[in-house]
Structure 1
């Protein structure tokens, strides 16, 4: 004799399977949101074999202080750190993150000074252009734009073990810079909230679908 399964039992099994799928999707999204950028301190970045990019402007603002995971050249490191790179007609970098704006068309004594470092305290002026340099793993790529009254500038001390403030902070470059950890935390919180919202939306959709199926089955039975 062929066994039959009550329609409501089928609905219950389908409903349970859909709920399980929804839970798995929400959990997966939540786990993915936990995977963010490299850790927030320069030391964490350098220890992982990456390059830390540190860019300060003449007014003392920090345009970038973050980890670069792609650094085949100094220019690649800048772009990996999210820094917009603009060049003049001669192919020289004239603006980083649109500073200065517009890009100078004639040299007025101010320019982007390019340095490398391993400890965040001692900086060596790069002997190669950013598109020709080869940053070493675990090193720091530092840039500073000198004031009009200066012939050049040297980046301020960078604390390797301190979480750094956001790149648009107006903090003096001589202070311990940036907190990518803080911004990562905010980003992670936002992503987690988004994952939760997705999970709730999926569960709600499952409930609606289940209710519709239940009504259809009841009508067919009647």
Structure 2
């Protein structure tokens, strides 16, 4: 009995001394951690802001068909809304938590993922089209930044500047370990007038467009009769 207690005490001490690592939903089988080493891939930045956690930078190698495929090929875990699917992303890497965001409809404008884009060495600006329709050029940056209780004018861009660092000779140009990178340059003020966060409101915009088209059709029929 005394020996059993000693074994249990030793096991408890070992467990207490074991470092605790933060679980990540990133699919390590897709993409690579850190910036893309050259202009043949798309660098994807996810900044959680109030949700907690360091920004994550990953590379989606090669040509990307859309902003959505860039996110997926970089290895991020995504959840779309039940109503609009992946056209309206409500969670990235499991954030916000289910108790905070049910993902039934498009996220509210008080707590949403803003969709940003930038050329290498440029300035972050809101995406000009939805995540399924945009086609990021090779060598460019895709950014996802969580905005809580922010207006369109104050919606924060990713805190990592869209600048691909020069790789020292003999290195790959990406971070050697892990998925989070906090050593990037601080982002400059974003180009707020470059568009609107279509990745957030695409579903609602689609409803407005369809409804508007239906209204025009009905009006024309009424006049023709």
How far apart are 1:93 and its partner, in Å?
Answer: 0.6
The alignment yields a C-alpha RMSD, in angstroms, of 3.2
**Structure 1 residues 74 and 141, CA gap change in structure 2 (3 angstroms):** same
**Bigger radius of gyration among the two:** 1
Distance 1:57 1:93 in 2: 14
User: Aligned-pair distance for 1:62?
Assistant: 3.7
The separation in 1 between residues aligned to 2:31 and 2:94, in whole angstroms, is: 25
User: Are the aligned partners of 2:33 and 2:179 in contact in 1 as well (CA < 8 Å)?
Assistant: no
Check whether the contact 2:45–2:142 (CA below 8 A) recurs between aligned residues: yes
Aligned to 1:13: none
Measure the CA separation in 2 of the matches of 1:173 and 1:61: 15
Could you tell me how far apart the structure 1 residues matched to 2:138 and 2:184 are?
23
What is the match of residue 93 of structure 1?
A: 89
- In the alignment, structure 1 residue 69 sits paired with structure 2 residue 61: yes
1:1-222 → structure 2 map (5 Å cutoff): 42=35, 44-46=37-39, 49-59=40-50, 61-62=53-54, 64-69=56-61, 71-88=64-81, 89-91=83-85, 92-102=88-98, 103-104=101-102, 105=104, 107=108, 109-148=110-149, 151=152, 152-156=155-159, 157-161=161-165, 163-164=174-175, 166-168=178-180, 171=182, 175=186
Gapped runs of 5+ residues in structure 2?
1-28, 167-173, 188-225
When normalised by structure 2's length, the TM-score is 0.51
- C-alpha deviation, 1:94, in angstroms: 0.5
CA contact (8 A) 2:44 2:143 kept: yes
Partner of 1:206: none
Shift of 1:158: 4.0
Structure 1 unaligned segments of length 5 or more: list them.
1-35, 177-222
| CA–CA distance in structure 2, aligned partners of residues 63 and 82 of structure 1 | 14
Higher relative contact order (CA 8 A, sep 6+): 1
Higher helix fraction: Structure 1 or Structure 2?
1
SS of 2:38's equivalent in the other structure is helix
